[in-house]
Structure 1
């Protein structure tokens, strides 16, 4: 392989990016070298950009939702080859702890992600391990392939919640994950899928992707509408996709007795105050959902039934990474999914 120089975007301080340059090595063992074609900005990248991600201290490379072309493989790689179009599950696990040894690698005691180890996908190239590489279907574009990672996050949340035929679900937050949870909940048979936000453009997108009803929480009373939709009982299940105290409480208060709230949002302020009595009086259940575990194959199998391209609102070149991140944080720009095309 000819000598290649990789350019990798990172957040060096709150609100500021720069680029590293590294000489790429030939892949060894089970390593797969990928030329990135499309890379998507994730909500966690934005927490990092603000310097407020609880698990990713600065400086750190960013980007983990991507697709591209395999250009070289190590000697032990068997299932992919140069020329394959792929996406990647960007987690890193030890393979040795109890969770890993029982097949539950999503609970690995040492779990991390590629971008936290210097292999961010806001770059020209990335080297990953073969077991995490998935071929894209011929019908899937690179841009859609970059969205398999967030679709897998949503898949994991919906599967953990066990959304069933006929259930009523409320999703608080209509970013990409919230919208995809709405789409998957509807696909799973939920008859009422309500999405809450204060951005009308995002709420409209949620309707187009499968929501049956939206609530603009800036000028509508969430609890009142939930009571009207459920005859006062509450929703079967809720999903919190924002990461602030107020929406955590909304997720708790929106579900019926014995209901389930699933928390997905990243909390920049992890210490919040909640109405604990609700656990007792309503016997509600609250669980977290992070990442994925055997969810990428499921996401790939259902992706053709979900119009992923609808989520893409902006595209930038790698050199425009600073502008791209600022666009994501601008309420005026109406960004949902912003892609970087190296």
Structure 2
């Protein structure tokens, strides 16, 4: 293999990125070397860029939503070959703890992600293990392929919530994950899917992807709107996709008795005040949802039914990573998903 040099973007301090370079090693064992074609900005990348991610200290490489071409494989690789167009489930698991040994690797006691180990996807190349590499459907573009990872996050949340036919759902937050959750809830049989957000353009996108109602939370009271939509009974299931005390409590208070809230958002401030008595008076349930576990195959199937391309609002070159992150944080940019092409 010819000598390759990798350029990797990282956040060095709040609001500032730089690039490091290193030689690319030939893959050994079950390792697969991928030339990255498309890499998307995730909400967690933005928390990191602000220096406010609760579990990721700086400096750190970033990027874990990506697609590309396989350019070399180790001697033990069996199902992936050079030339394959792929995406990657960017988890790092130990394979030894009780969760891993029972197939529940999403609960691995040593769970991490490739970017936290120095292998960020805001780069030219990345080396990963074969079990986490997935071939893309032939009709899916590289840019859309980079969105399989966030779609898997949404799939995991919707599957955990066990959405049923005829249920009424509230999704708070119309970022990419919230929009995907809304679309998947409709595909799963929810007859009422309401999306709440501050952005008019994002709410318009929610309607295009299958939402039945939208609430502009900058102009309307979310809980009053929910009461009107449900004749005062409340929502069957809510998804919190923002990560704020206000939206967490909106999710709780919107529920009907015995309702379920699934929390997906990352909380920069993890200590919040909640109306605890609501758990007793309404017997509501709250659960978290993080990442994925056997959800990538489902996301690849669902990518054929959801217009992922419509979520991509901006594209940048890799060297423009600083501008791309700043654009993602600029509310006036009306961005949903930003893709970088190394």
Q: Distance in 2 between matches of 1:75 and 1:55?
A: 35
Q: Distance in 1 between matches of 2:323 and 2:24?
A: 27
Q: Distance in 1 between matches of 2:81 and 2:72?
A: 7
Q: Distance in 1 between matches of 2:296 and 2:16?
A: 32
Aligned residue in 2 for 1:86: 86
Q: Which runs of 4+ in 1 moved over 4 A?
A: none
RMSD (CA atoms): 0.4
Q: Distance in 1 between matches of 2:107 and 2:169?
A: 26
Q: Distance in 2 between matches of 1:119 and 1:262?
A: 30
Aligned residue in 1 for 2:74: 74
Q: Distance in 1 between matches of 2:219 and 2:69?
A: 46
SS of the aligned residue for 1:310 comes to helix
Q: What are the residue-to-residue correspondences of 1:20-35 with 2, within 5 Å? A: 20-35=20-35
Number of aligned positions between the proteins: 342
Aligned residue in 2 for 1:207: 207
Q: What are the residue-to-residue correspondences of 1:1-342 with 2, within 5 Å? A: 1-342=1-342
Q: Distance in 2 between matches of 1:74 and 1:203?
A: 46
SS of the aligned residue for 1:249 comes to helix
- Unpaired segments ≥5 residues, structure 1: none
Q: Distance in 2 between matches of 1:56 and 1:74?
A: 30
Q: CA offset at residue 229 of structure 1?
A: 1.2
Question: What is the CA deviation profile of residues 71-126 of structure 1, one whole-angstrom value per residue up to 9, with x for unaligned ones?
Answer: 00000000101000000000000001111111100000000000000000000000
SS of the aligned residue for 1:305 comes to coil
Q: Distance in 2 between matches of 1:169 and 1:223?
A: 13
How high is the TM-score relative to the length of structure 2? 1.00
SS of the aligned residue for 2:220 comes to coil
How high is the TM-score relative to the length of structure 1? 1.00
Q: Distance in 2 between matches of 1:28 and 1:149?
A: 25
Q: Distance in 1 between matches of 2:136 and 2:199?
A: 33
Q: CA offset at residue 245 of structure 1?
A: 0.3
Q: Distance in 2 between matches of 1:51 and 1:221?
A: 31
Q: Distance in 1 between matches of 2:313 and 2:303?
A: 18
- Unpaired segments ≥5 residues, structure 2: none
Q: Distance in 2 between matches of 1:23 and 1:264?
A: 37
Question: What is the CA deviation profile of residues 141-200 of structure 1, one whole-angstrom value per residue up to 9, with x for unaligned ones?
Answer: 101100000000000000000001100000000000000000000000100000001110
SS of the aligned residue for 1:332 comes to helix
Q: CA offset at residue 222 of structure 1?
A: 1.1
Q: Distance in 2 between matches of 1:224 and 1:265?
A: 23
Q: CA offset at residue 58 of structure 1?
A: 0.2
Q: Distance in 1 between matches of 2:221 and 2:97?
A: 46
SS of the aligned residue for 2:242 comes to coil
